[in-house]
Structure 1
Amino acid sequence: MGNPLILRKADFFASATQPVAVADRYPQHVFAEHTHEFCELVLVWRGNGLHILNGRPYRITRGDLFYIRAEDKHAYASVNDLVLQNVIYCPERLTLNVDWGQHIPGFQATSWTPHWRLGTTGMAQAKQVIALLEQESKQAAAAASHQMAELLFAQLVLTLSRHRYGTDNLQATASETLLDKLITALAGSLNRPFMVDAFCEREQCSERTLRQQFRAQTGMTINHYLRQLRVCHAQYLLQHTELMIGEVAMRCGFEDSNYFSVVFTREVGMTPSQWRHRSRVAA
């Protein structure tokens, strides 16, 4: 496998001193595997796609948040009306006296969790800050503009730190919208059945309205999204563990390994065994 594409600072920053900028993806198209000379925050606003980060597939949609380091390899595939924003920054150009490492996972050589989620409240606040940051980063390459952009970047980083939550943290969405609760509940049910009607009964909401709202925001049905989540998790387990195919199926919510193989082959284009072999050869 050849070396990935490298995105250069000179192509994305207005000057050699600009610390932060905003790169819109309206929409985000399929993009080959690449690394950067800079770091970035990725915030997904709507639609869906397959985000492959350091060889691990993530089915992404509204509310997904990623912290990407310069050396990380990632790509986008199977996109469907995927709308996101990349906030890019050069750590060595940041001058504010801020403990960046405390609020940006992976900023320093510490434990790193790249994937988080934002609820509706956090997304709304982040959007406001990013709009100001984008406007400021387009100003003339002056020291004052750089300083203002960095101040806004610090506000964004703190906002994300306050509102982000792990995909397995069901309590984090207690005050968020039904859609936030549903997406988090789906991510937390990879190894067990998920009943939409039971969720709606618990939340006292209309199943038909919820299904319509989910499709409008993500471009997928609830069942398709959950199936994609389970297939992505299966790909990770196949590549990084020695579990038998049947055990992988069970851990991904499929009680029948034969049905799991049928679904996996339909979604990925090869059997679980073939995919395991190919991914390990490539690695």
Structure 2
Amino acid sequence: MAGQLILRRADFFASSAQAVAVADRYPQNVFAEHTHDFCELVLVWRGNGLHVLNDRPYRITRGDLFYIRAEDKHSYASVNDLVLQNVIYCPDRLRLNVDWGENIPGFLDTRANPHWRLGSNGMTQVRPVITQLEQESKKDCPHAFELSELLFAQLVLTLKRYRYATDGPAASGPEALLDKLITTLAGSLNRSFVLEKFCEQEQCSERALRQQFRAQTGMTVNHYLRQLRICHAQYLLQHTEMMVSEVAMQCGFEDSNYFSVVFNREIGMTPVQWRHRSRHAA
């Protein structure tokens, strides 16, 4: 694509021998669509934003994990106190005898799912690994490069152990209640969700959970669910031939007129207008 922004290795790695580095985003601001000549792992720590990956929108927040290939195009928009870390790597520079393809989705199979989630326990486990990796990646010496790659191997294996698919079960335990809520919301796109019933089932305080959710994500529960549904609607409008009324039903809106009103309010155009524009741009 003419004029496509490409992020280059030379701007992010200490030397041509370095295989892994960490690029902090504290916070991550709006960033135009781009590709890279390296790959990256993206882990969201706090806040929220819109991540558009290969033309598919994802409403992201705490615990979202992405495996980005060099040729993938992505951008960030509508950010709100979004804090994330990019662990960037060059596949051709990796020297350890590790089955990277088995542990990094998309490393070999382009059809692999790029979007996962990480629960509270997993985030606790990977944080110190990334911190140490970041410290080593700032040093321009062979020993630091080797140690960085060892830490990267530890990181990808830890992520594999603790990650779960967005439509799969979250980790269990009191500390993972917020993770379970986010996963339940992701599984409620085409049906109603009542937080009161969720809290009754989990035997927890609805008020406390609302406060915890807003503190970690920067959104209310209802706002987050609405954004998930709108993102799913955008995907269906662009990639299927469903009528607007069918898209509305698939995204949890029983009234297609109300769906169009909400979509227009959030996106700035009607579903039909957005479908036409997105397909024309593609």
TM-score (normalised: structure 2): 0.98
Q: Post-superposition shift, 1:2?
A: 4.2
What residue number does 1:121 align with?
121
- Aligned positions of 1:130-209 closer than 5 A: 130-139=130-139, 141-170=140-169, 172-175=170-173, 177-209=176-208
What residue number does 2:61 align with?
61
What residue number does 2:209 align with?
210
Q: Post-superposition shift, 1:48?
A: 0.1
Alignment check: 8 A CA contact 1:4 1:73 kept? no
Instruction: Tell me the secondary structure at the aligned position of residue 85 of structure 1.
Output: strand
- Aligned positions of 1:232-243 closer than 5 A: 232-243=231-242
What residue number does 1:103 align with?
103
Instruction: Tell me the secondary structure at the aligned position of residue 254 of structure 1.
Output: coil
Q: Post-superposition shift, 1:111?
A: 3.1
Q: Describe the superposition over 1:241-273 as per-residue Cα deviations: whole angstroms up to 9, x where unpaired.
A: 000000000000001000000000000000000
CA distance in 2, matches of 1:282, 1:28: 26
Q: Which letter does structure 1 place at the counterpart of 2:254? A: E
Q: Post-superposition shift, 1:173?
A: 2.2
Q: Which letter does structure 2 place at the counterpart of 1:19? A: A
Instruction: Tell me the matched-pair count.
Output: 281
Instruction: Tell me the secondary structure at the aligned position of residue 157 of structure 1.
Output: helix
Q: Post-superposition shift, 1:110?
A: 4.9
Instruction: Tell me the secondary structure at the aligned position of residue 177 of structure 1.
Output: helix
Q: Does 1:16 align with 2:16?
A: yes
TM-score (normalised: structure 1): 0.98
Instruction: Tell me the secondary structure at the aligned position of residue 243 of structure 1.
Output: coil
Q: Describe the superposition over 1:23-72 as per-residue Cα deviations: whole angstroms up to 9, x where unpaired.
A: 00000000000000100000000000000000000000000000000000
Q: Post-superposition shift, 1:178?
A: 1.1
Q: Which letter does structure 2 place at the counterpart of 1:25? A: R
Q: Describe the superposition over 1:66-113 as per-residue Cα deviations: whole angstroms up to 9, x where unpaired.
A: 000000000000000000000000000000000000010000135310
CA distance in 1, matches of 2:261, 2:126: 40
Q: Describe the superposition over 1:131-170 as per-residue Cα deviations: whole angstroms up to 9, x where unpaired.
A: 010011112x221111100000000000000000011112
Instruction: Tell me the secondary structure at the aligned position of residue 126 of structure 2.
Output: helix
What residue number does 1:41 align with?
41
Structure 1: runs of 5 or more not aligned = none
CA distance in 1, matches of 2:265, 2:59: 16
